[in-house]
Amino acid sequence: MLESLIQNIINALQWGSFYALIALGYTLVYGVLTLINFAHGDVFMVGAYIAFFVATFCLTVLGLPGWVALILVIPLTMILTSLVGVTLERIAYRPLRKKGAHRLYVVITALMCGLILEHANLAILGASRKAFPVLIEVQVYNIGGVTFTNLKIAVIVTAFLSFLFLHWVVTKTRIGMAMRAISYDKFAVPLMGIPLDQIIVVTFILGSGFAGLAGLLFAMSYPVLEPYMGALIGWKAFIAAVVGGIGDIRGAFIGGFLLGAVEIMVVAFFPSTFRDLISFSVLLAILTWKPTGLFGIAQTTKI
């Protein structure tokens, strides 16, 4: 009984890590621009594919050993994926912002960007799935009936470190202070001598970079890639961010793990086909009870 509980907790933490890493990107962009970047799940997918190409290149063309390849794949995937996010901001969101478009149009644009990423992938790479190469030997450990792998532990540790890093950026650095300022009053930010577009680009770099990292870790854990892999997980991470209180880094993190935990617990007691139905129902109940999310505060009116 105790083993199965611990086992489920480890599994929940691993699942939650993916949701949390993606939810962090949703919440960062929302926090700064009040834009729900619905393309974010697909940026995660692109991240997984970028990781696939970089890893394949390192292993087959350069002939590097797996662990050396991994050391290169992590930063390259994060950098290249963040470029995708920055490109979306530059060509899709920024022109709308400059025209003063209503938020609704920006959100619809974001949805379109996501669909374009999915179908561009389909058009360019075809419908066949890609198998992600093995970068590190997966070690299975068994302690008192609880099994876990080095990869699972790495995923969980990475999610925690990413959270601590982003939380530090937002709360302690000047750029984080500027990000928070934009979320409250975009108008006054340039008046402080702060280049608004630059801060927004940094936000997209951070959000997309960590989505890329999530893509890499996901591909290493479940090594089958397909163009729609980001759609459902993106939606779920978005919901996790909302449940945590969108705009708040802690909320995204807690929300991600909460969703992971709920899903794993549902599967432990019900048929696995019930998973999404029950977990979404639980989240709906949480939102009914606290519509602003666990960490969200009701928007106060400005004087």
Partner 1 sequence: MMLSIENLEVKYGNIQALHGISFHVNKGEIVTLIGANGAGKTTSLHSISRLPPPEAPRVIAGDIRFNGESILKTKPDQVVKDLHLALVPEGRHIFGNLTVMENLQLATYARAKGTDFEPEYQRIFDLFPRLHERRKQRSESLSGGEQQMLAVGRALLTGCNFLMLDEPSMGLAPVLKYELFRKLKQLNDEGMTILLVEQNANLALHLAHRGYVLDTGKIVAEGTGEELLGNPEVKKAYLGG
Nearer to partner 1, 126 or 195 (CB): 195
Nearer to partner 1, 104 or 174 (CB): 174
Site for partner 1 in 14-43 (CB under 8 A): none
CB of 183 closer than 8 Å to CB of 203:
no
Q: Is 302 strand, coil or helix?
A: coil
Q: Does 183 bind partner 1 (CB under 8 A)?
A: yes
Q: Please, what is the minimum distance in Å from the beta carbon of residue 28 to partner 1?
A: 15
Q: Does 187 bind partner 1 (CB under 8 A)?
A: yes
Q: Please, what is the minimum distance in Å from the beta carbon of residue 198 to partner 1?
A: 8
Of the listed pieces 33-41, 97-105, 122-130, 285-293, which binds partner 1 according to CB under 8 A? 97-105
- Residue 7: Cβ within 10 Å count: 16
Q: Is 125 strand, coil or helix?
A: helix
Which one of residues 1, 2, 98, 124 is an interface residue with partner 1 (CB under 8 A)?
Answer: 98
Nearer to partner 1, 63 or 193 (CB): 193
Site for partner 1 in 156-175 (CB under 8 A): 174
How far from 17 is each of 255, 257, 289, CA to CA, in Å? 10, 6, 25
Q: Does 180 bind partner 1 (CB under 8 A)?
A: yes
Q: Does 300 bind partner 1 (CB under 8 A)?
A: yes
Q: Does 289 bind partner 1 (CB under 8 A)?
A: no
Positive or negative torsion for Cα 50, 15, 39, 102: negative
CB of 254 closer than 8 Å to CB of 295:
yes
Which one of residues 65, 75, 195, 291 is an interface residue with partner 1 (CB under 8 A)?
Answer: 195
Q: Which of 13, 3, 6 is nearest to 154 (CA)?
A: 13
Amino acid at position 209, single letter: G
> Rounded distance, CA 71 to CA 73, Å?
6
- Residue 65: Cβ within 10 Å count: 11
Q: List residues binding partner 1 (CB under 8 A).
A: 97-100, 174, 177-178, 180-181, 183-185, 187-188, 190-196, 300, 302-303
